[in-house]
């Protein structure tokens, strides 16, 4: 159900198409939520049925037509109500690599090292992209406090992860 409020949050900043919602979602929210265009389009339809958003059809001569969504009053009220009244659900992480970590005792040193290197590479690449996005966002002169805070979260998360990997490597070497 929270995906709904993530999308309402995006639309609350400015009117956007479904396609834009997907793009913005992936740019600004992958650090703490995940979804696909498939789920997002469905949720937009549901929210429109419930009158939380409306759309205006924009006929574009040549390129495909598009629906530009904006919040209704009801939508804005519901978004704020959710933010301040709805009790916080605990955060959920699903990280396969950490499952693999639990069975390190039955893997060989090489296998463990390969896995760790793989995950370090993955995380470094994510961190680089996040920093790039932060630079891009800063250079736009945009100062949306929400975006500033969540991008920083993304960076800190990746940095913590990489530190932990480095520590884990050391730990394993010491134990061997």
Partner DNA sequence: CGCGCCATGTAAGCAGTTACATGATTCC
Partner DNA sequence: GGAATCATGTAACTGCTTACATGGCGCG
Where along the sequence are the contacts to DNA (CB under 7 A)? 1-3, 17-20, 22-23, 34-39, 41-42, 44-45, 60, 62-67, 92, 94
* Measured CA distances, 21 to 63, 111, 145, 161 (Å): 19, 40, 19, 28
What is the separation of C-alpha 159 from the centre of its chain, rounded to a whole number of angstroms?
17
Cα–Cα distance for residue pair 176/59, rounded to 1 Å: 66
Which range binds its own copies by CB under 8 A, 37-45, 46-54, 72-80, 131-139? 72-80
Asked if 32 touches its own copies (CB under 8 A), the answer is yes
> Residues 141-160: x/- map of binding to its own copies (CB under 8 A)?
---xxxxxxx-xx--xx--x
Cα–Cα distance for residue pair 5/77, rounded to 1 Å: 11
Cα first-last separation, the chain:
47
Asked if 163 touches its own copies (CB under 8 A), the answer is yes
Closest to 13 (Cα-Cα) out of 2, 24, 4: 24
Q: Contact with its own copies (CB under 8 A): which of 100, 129, 131, 134?
A: 100
Asked if 109 touches its own copies (CB under 8 A), the answer is no
Cα–Cα distance for residue pair 76/80, rounded to 1 Å: 6
Q: How far is the CB of 87 from its own copies (least distance, A)?
A: 9
Would you say 149 and 137 are in contact if contact means Cβ atoms under 8 Å apart?
Answer: no
Q: How far is the CB of 92 from DNA (least distance, A)?
A: 6
Q: Contact with its own copies (CB under 8 A): which of 58, 80, 109, 128?
A: 80
Would you say 47 and 7 are in contact if contact means Cβ atoms under 8 Å apart?
Answer: yes
Interaction site with its own copies (CB under 8 A):
2, 5-6, 9-10, 12, 28-29, 31-34, 76, 79-80, 83-84, 88-107, 111, 114-115, 118-119, 122, 144-150, 152-153, 156-157, 160, 163-164, 167-168, 171-172, 175
């Amino acid at each position: 159900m929270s995906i709904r409020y993530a999308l309402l949050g995006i639309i609350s900043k400015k009117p956007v198409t479904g396609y834009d919602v997907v793009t913005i979602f992936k740019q600004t929210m992958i650090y703490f939520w995940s979804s696909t265009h498939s789920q997002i389009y469905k949720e937009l339809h549901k929210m429109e049925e419930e009158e939380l958003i409306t759309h205006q059809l924009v006929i574009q001569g040549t390129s495909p037509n598009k629906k530009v969504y904006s919040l209704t009053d009801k939508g804005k009220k519901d978004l704020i109500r959710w933010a301040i009244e709805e009790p916080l659900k605990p955060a959920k992480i699903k990280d396969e690599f950490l499952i693999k970590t639990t069975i390190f005792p039955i893997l060989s040193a090489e296998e463990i090292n390969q896995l760790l290197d793989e995950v370090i590479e993955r995380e470094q690449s994510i961190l680089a992209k996040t920093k790039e996005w932060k630079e891009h966002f800063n250079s736009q002169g945009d100062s949306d406090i929400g975006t500033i805070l969540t991008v920083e979260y993304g960076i800190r998360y990746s940095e913590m992860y990489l530190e932990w990997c480095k520590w884990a490597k050391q730990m394993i070497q010491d134990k061997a």
